[in-house]
Structure 1
Amino acid sequence: MRIENNADADVRLHGKVIAPPTPIGSYDPSDVTFLLKDISSVQLERTTEEREAAIQSGVHYSEMLPTEYEPSSSYIELFHRTLAQSAQDVALAAAIVAERIAEMRGKDVVLVSLARGGTPAGILIKRYLAYRYGWDVKHYSISIIRGKGIDENAILYILQQHGADTELQFVDGWTGKGAIRGVLAEAAEQFERKYGYRMNDDLAVLADPGHCCTTFGTRDDYLIPSACLNATVSGLISRTVQRDDLIGPRDFHGAKHYAEWKEADLSHTFVDTVSACFPAIADEAARQAAEMERHPAAATWQGLSDIRMLQQKYGIDNVNFVKPGVGETTRVLLRRMPWKIIVNRLDNPDLRHIMLLAEDRGIPVEVLEGLTYSCCGIIKPLKGDSE
């Protein structure tokens, strides 16, 4: 992030000082600082059916929370098995991204992950930079919400802490159809208009199956195990909340800390297991990152052609009812009301948890060969807009 005005104009430009955050979540403070307001005492959860009806009747998804999915023992076993099998692949993707960030941004970069799916990715990138280069970069996790934008108070707080010339790098876990990528670009323009700062809206992701980012570890649509679970792999943090009666003008966006899930928390298990693979993949990550630097990949938004085809095939008017990619399909099965799941093939090992969740919820699975994505979840249309 760069300021086009004097660095000492910082406070004068934004006109307000944001108070430090209250610690929240189960991650070690050395891994991440959540810039979120703790609203754990507020009852915001609704059943899947209630929430779906509310969303499709016009209630914004960030004004309520889904009831957290309580996985079965077989599902947890699948998570551990998948993590053991894919940890090195995830480590390689995180390391490639970290190498590219090191080259583009330098050792003074501040990582800003998008809560909550981006938080584990940000931790892995931070840890890799410490392992490979000895850099102790700062990592914050903040809220961004489709239809409401980025948490501007969180950005202002980071600037207050690190100065107006701070170089920010936004981080997320994966892309679907690129909605959040678009929200981030719009947020950067709006922030510049309001405060005189131009944020670098580059979004770094471990997996970019939607082909909508230029900083990524892979474009394969494969399972990042942290997508399998919700709060219990994301520091026991809920989805972020933005509601005027809960969030004041100087507050960060809100989130709940599910401390009661402490015994089931796998947040550290995930990042520790993947981080342990860094020595095995560091040289290959550096090689692939250098190759990407020599031959940059364009953001073609190729995945949108899949989405338009699915809309036409299944008569889906609202693009938000189509959730492409392994990560987004998982989210649909965990907290929405899916109508059907579309897969490119039934024997894809990255889709074992998708099949298990679909069977558990009685959701039909159809095969459609030739998809850019490994799978897509289609939400059951009721009426109105969707998340």
Structure 2
Amino acid sequence: MISTLQPDKMGSYAPEDVTFLLRDIGNVFLEMDNEKREQLIQSGTHYSEMLPIEKQPSDMYMNLFYKTLDAYAERIAIAVGVVAEQIIESRGLDNLILVSLARAGTPIGILIKRYISMRYRVNVPHYSISILRGRGFDETAIRYILTQHPLGCLQFIDGWTGKGAITNELIQSCQKFNAQYQGQLNANLAVLADPGHCAAIYGTREDFLIPSACLNSTVSGLVSRTVLNRQFMDANDFHGAKYYKELEDLDVSNLYIERIVTCFEQVQSTIMQQLLKQDESPITWEGMKSVQNIQRDFCIDNIHFIKPGVGETTRVLLRRLPWKILINPRYMDELQHILFLAQEKHIVIEEYSNMSYACCGLIKEI
């Protein structure tokens, strides 16, 4: 299982914050507009074989991002602390390796690493790897980590849960890897927000906006979505991604991290209170029940056209062709950026309260 491949250096984060285990495919043109991508995805092309065009956000939208970051920085810091403490309780610190799932998991993994460093004075290794729905995680990346850290206890991290597709993908990938290599990978995923009720370790089950969901690469270390396209990629190599150096002037990746890190000290007592209250509530997959309600109520054939939760709805508005956006009236005051994007694209907004989520994006069937 020894891995001798080396990943490419990429991303605008400090190397001590994260190591991306990815191959830089910046020399290949894979960007397509949302309409063309949607047609290909709906006709059977895997989403990881192409990339969306990364557009420059408007000043108005960036102002919304900064406003949201200010409003939610403490809430995120609390959720980070709650997740970090649970990880330490279940895994210990001795051989702990943080493995975030690119790309939504990357800033969250960095924040957890920074929290552990601040509170426990321990520098935990942190890697970011690719995982793709229907294709699993990047086995080359996992082998690389285990070559570097033979006794490593890997903790997988993501930003939030939607339906739980990535949670399932991780479980299947770990089972397959463990069977093939007599491994001991633990598939318990840690996330900041778990509105899908499908993660073992979570900061909150409230469906709230994690501001890093608002933007694309400019809040994720200037790294694109991950790519697996066999036309130009070697089967045994790392999954690929692009490093958008040309967006450096718009990059808020490190600003985002530093803004939240400054809150760690002041929310320490709240984190401890939250941990006491953190019930041992079971994984119920309640989110999936909400998705089934939506599928029935809106007569949607393909469950992949339903993208629940604030993070996934934002992605639908930024990267897919939305049909309509469902808003849970209880959360209306917290969803300014969703309303902004929907109005900008003239997408119908409908109130719908029969779900465990704050909102849900429905993709247009072509």
Q: TM-score, normalised by structure 2?
A: 0.98
Of 294, 307, 317 in structure 2, the residue corresponding to residue 323 of structure 1 is 307
Question: What is the percent sequence identity of the aligned residues?
Answer: 51
Specify the alignment match of 1:136 in structure 2.
123
Partner of 1:120: 107
Q: Retained in 1: the 8 A contact 2:290–2:354? A: no
Moved more, 191-200 or 74-83: 191-200
Deviation at 1:291, TM superposition (A): 4.1
* Residue matched to 1:279: 265
Contact 1:210–1:304 under 8 Å retained in 2: yes
Q: Give the whole-Å Cα distance in 2 for the aligned partners of 1:289 and 1:183.
A: 28
User: Shift in Å at residue 214 of structure 1?
Assistant: 1.8
Aligned to 1:151: 138
1:368 equivalent in structure 2 = 352
Alignment-derived partner of residue 269 in structure 1: 255
Instruction: Kindly indicate whether the alpha-carbon contact (under 8 Å) linking 1:69 and 1:334 is maintained by their aligned counterparts in 2.
Output: no
Q: In structure 1, what is the equivalent of residue 326 of structure 2?
A: 342
Cα deviation for residue 20 of structure 1 reads 2.1
User: Structure 1 counterpart of 2:352, which letter?
Assistant: L
Q: Distance in 2 between matches of 1:284 and 1:144?
A: 33
Q: More displaced, 362-371 or 183-192? A: 362-371
Structure 2 CA distance for partners of 1:109 and 1:347, relative to 1, 3 Å: closer
Q: State the Cα distance separating 1:243 from its structure 2 match.
A: 1.2
Alignment equivalent of 2:203, drawn from 208, 211, 217 = 217
**Is 1:310 matched with 2:297?**
no
Q: Which letter maps to 2:251?
A: D
Q: 1:204-239 CA deviation, whole Å, 9 max, x = no partner?
A: 000000000120000000100000000000000000
C-alpha distance in 2 between matches for 1:217 and 1:22? 32
Deviation at 1:306, TM superposition (A): 1.2
- 1:331 is displaced (CA, Å) by 0.2
Are residue 245 (structure 1) and residue 231 (structure 2) matched? yes
Q: Where does structure 2 lack aligned partners over 5 or more consecutive residues?
A: none
On the 8 A contact 1:115/1:142 being kept in 2, the answer is yes
Tell me what 2:22 maps to: 36
CA distance in 2, matches of 1:238, 1:348: 30
**What amino acid maps onto 1:299 in structure 2?**
I
Tell whether the 8 Å contact from 1:18 to 1:153 is kept in structure 2 after alignment: no
1:194 deviation in Å?
Answer: 1.6
Matches within 5 A, 1:41-52: 41-52=27-38
Paired with 1:138 and 1:290, the residues of 2 have a C-alpha distance of: 28
2:82 to 96, 120, 145: 96
Identify the residue that residue 4 of structure 1 maps to in structure 2: none
Cα displacement string for residues 178-197 of structure 1 (whole angstroms, at most 9, x for unaligned residues): 00000000001110122111
Contact 2:26-2:241 at 8 Å conserved across structures: yes
SS at match of 1:279: coil
Residues in 1 aligned to 2:219 and 2:301: alpha-carbon distance in whole angstroms: 34
1:75-120 superposed Cα distances (whole Å, 9 cap, x missing partner): 0000000000100000100110001111111112100000000000
- From 323, 329, 353, the equivalent of 2:337 is 353
User: Is 1:205 matched up with 2:191?
Assistant: yes
Runs of 4 or more above 2 Å deviation: 286-292, 346-350
Aligned twin of 2:61: 75
Counterpart residue identity of residue 204, structure 2:
T
Q: Are the structure 2 counterparts of residues 41 and 132 from structure 1 closer, same or farther at C-alpha, using a change threshold of 3 Å?
A: same
Deviations 1:302-343 (A, max 9, x none): 011111111111110111000000000000000000000000
Q: Deviations over 1:7-28 (max 9, x none)?
A: xxxxxxx2x5232222101010
Distance 2:232 2:17 in 1: 27
Q: Deviations over 1:138-189 (max 9, x none)?
A: 00000000011100000000000011x3110000000001000000000011
Distance in 2, matches of 1:154 and 1:106, equals 23
2:241 equivalent to 1:255? yes
SS in structure 2 opposite 1:198?
coil
The residue type equivalent to 1:355 in the other structure is: L
Query: Cα RMSD (Å) of the superposition?
Result: 1.2
Bigger shift: residues 111-120 or 311-320: 311-320
Cα–Cα, structure 1 residues 168 and 290, in superposed 2: closer, same or farther, change >3 Å?
farther
- 1:212 and 1:191 map into 2 onto residues whose CA distance is 21
Shift of 1:376: 0.2
Rounded Cα–Cα distance in structure 1 between residues aligned with 2:39 and 2:268: 47
Partner of 1:323, secondary structure, is strand
The whole-number CA distance in structure 1 between the counterparts of 2:284 and 2:131 is 23
Deviating more after overlay: 51-60 vs 280-289 = 280-289
TM-score in terms of structure 1 length: 0.92
Aligned residues: 365
